Chains A and B, each alone.
Chain A
Amino acid sequence: MPHTTTMATMLELTDVDTYYGASHILQGLSLKVGAGEAVALLGRNGAGKTTTMRSVLGLTPPKRGSILMDGTEIARAKTHRIARQGVAFVASGRRVFGGLTVAQNLELAARTLGKRAAADGRTLEDVLTVFPKLRELADRRAGFLSGGEQQMLKLARALLGNPRLLLLDEPTEGLSPAVVSDLGRWLDRLREQGLSILLTEQNALFALAHVDRGYVMLKGRITHEASAEELRSSEEVRAALGVG
């Protein structure tokens, strides 16, 4: 998909400054995700990729700047309100509720945001059709799942809220190659369904294979912006990302 101005904008950050205590992490960051567009946010560790997502989610609210979600200002909104605007987040690491069963994790997501969905929204049944493995694991405590199964559960949980924008933070981290290729297929399928996606990745080659466009971040700023194809072939970018 081309990154033209004719595409409606789903998410737009303008001149965002975010701090962790005294450290100035995001320094006038601006980026856009079009409706139905998949965008990668690339960069080395500490570039501010996760902070960008935390800013959008209201977990680390920006000190200055604007964040528009489908035209609505969310820069100073509470996290649960932002979620209700249709922003879903798949965090990195083991962020499932380990003491609850897989079924309870899913049910909780469906009951919290699922009921707000339109009549044609995803149901628990739809999600279990996409991830049949979760049906087998329904009564297992989520804390006992493998890394790949937890990733599946986190994604399923995010989709149950029927988001318009999906934020994925380092989705391939710690996954086996087989699970990474499954993840790629799911992402492609979600793109076909028209979901807007922003993902951060250390694994730039994976990310660029599944997005339309990408940004490269360095020290809290965007240094490059181009189509996935251009970024894949740019020597400068490969060097900046440490890709061989």
Chain B
Amino acid sequence: MNTFVTETVSILTNAAMLFVVAAGLTLVFGALRLINMAHGSLFMVGALTVASLASGLTGGWGFAVALIAAVGLCAALGAGIEISILRRLHDREPLAQLLATFALVLVAADLAQRVWGTSDRTVATPVAGRFSVGGAVVPEYDLIVIGIAAAVALGLWLLLARTATGWRVRAAVEDPETLSVGGTNLALLRTSVFALGAGLAGLAGAAIAPLESVGPGLDTQIIVAAFIVTVVGGLGSVVGAALGAVVIATVEGLGTLWVPSYASSAGYLVMILVLAVRPWGLFGTPDR
């Protein structure tokens, strides 16, 4: 029972962060038809921002301020990148866009090393409390992380299902030309969605900072995980990102428990399996 509760909370915490990262990636893919390799770099910037602010801003509220600053910085960076680089490549072939975002990965990694150095940092857990459920001790911060992901899921659902802006985002996935003919400023919509995706990457990075060591390499590590999740869930689908995150976190969590030496390949195996059976992912659409 103890192990079950501890494992469940730990799997859900991982799933929560994977979902927030993957949701950003999948939204950007849907509305811009762009695979953003630099999504992991924005995640790393989010984590590093919190790491450098955390020493000055301590405690729960201090951390909240650092988190909001990280999200704001990443969203602003995202908007800047979209306007200055990606917008110009929008009508080019997908390979040009992919290469541009890959170039951004390299530039971001280099810049991050100049600004933040090469050594790993640790961030103190902003809320150190623990409580016991069924005999197991659960860190309060894990529940906060799960709560953040739940809030993101709810927020995205409300946005996409209930607001005209959300309908525009969905319409842009289907038929951007018809949307612009109807009077929507597509360039503005694309910039906004990219900034939202970047903000989500930053949020995930900021929230995970107290749980992992923060430093170079975080970018590539998370982008691979986020790709696995989105491919399993279906590129472009937010619901798919949520399901994919739970599936991958569960497989990796149980893998670590039962076959530790193979755990790191578990996610890839699931991805290969899904690709073989349903190449468009669990919630994707076949014709894209």
Contacts and interface: CB of A to CB of B under 8 A. Distances in A.
Q: Do they bind each other? A: yes
Interface in B164-200: 164, 167-168, 170-171, 173-175, 177-187
Interface in A47-83: 57, 59, 78-80, 83
Given A95-B175, A97-B175, A99-B174, A109 B167 contact: no
Contacts of A157: 182
A28 interface: no
Interface string B154-167: 00000000001001
Given A95-B175, A97-B175, A98-B174, A80 B180 contact: yes
Given A108-B164, A108-B167, A111-B164, A89 B181 contact: yes
B181 A107 contact: no
A31 interface: no
A132 to B, nearest CB: 23
A122 B164 CA distance: 19
Interface string B211-240: 000000000000000000000000000000
A35 to B, nearest CB: 21
A79 B170 contact: no
A104 interface: yes
B167 A79 contact: no
Contacts, number: 61
Nearest to A111: B164
Nearest to B161: A104
Nearest to B177: A59
Nearest to A110: B164
A183 B164 CA distance: 29
Contact of B167 (A84, A89, A100, A161): A100
Interface residues of A, number: 24
Nearest to B174: A97
Nearest to A158: B182
Interface in B80-111: none
A129 interface: no
A97 B184 contact: no
A112 interface: yes
A83 B42 CA distance: 36
23 contacts: A59-B177, A59-B180, A78-B187, A79-B186, A80-B183, A80-B184, A80-B185, A83-B183, A84-B183, A88-B181, A91-B181, A95-B178, A97-B175, A99-B170, A99-B173, A100-B167, A104-B167, A108-B182, A112-B164, A112-B184, A113-B182, A113-B183, A161-B183
Interface of B: 164, 167-168, 170-171, 173-175, 177-187
Interface of A: 57, 59, 78-80, 83-84, 88-89, 91, 95, 97-100, 104, 107-109, 111-113, 157, 161
Which 7 residue pairs spanning A and B have beta carbons closest together? A83-B183, A79-B180, A113-B183, A97-B171, A112-B183, A89-B181, A111-B164
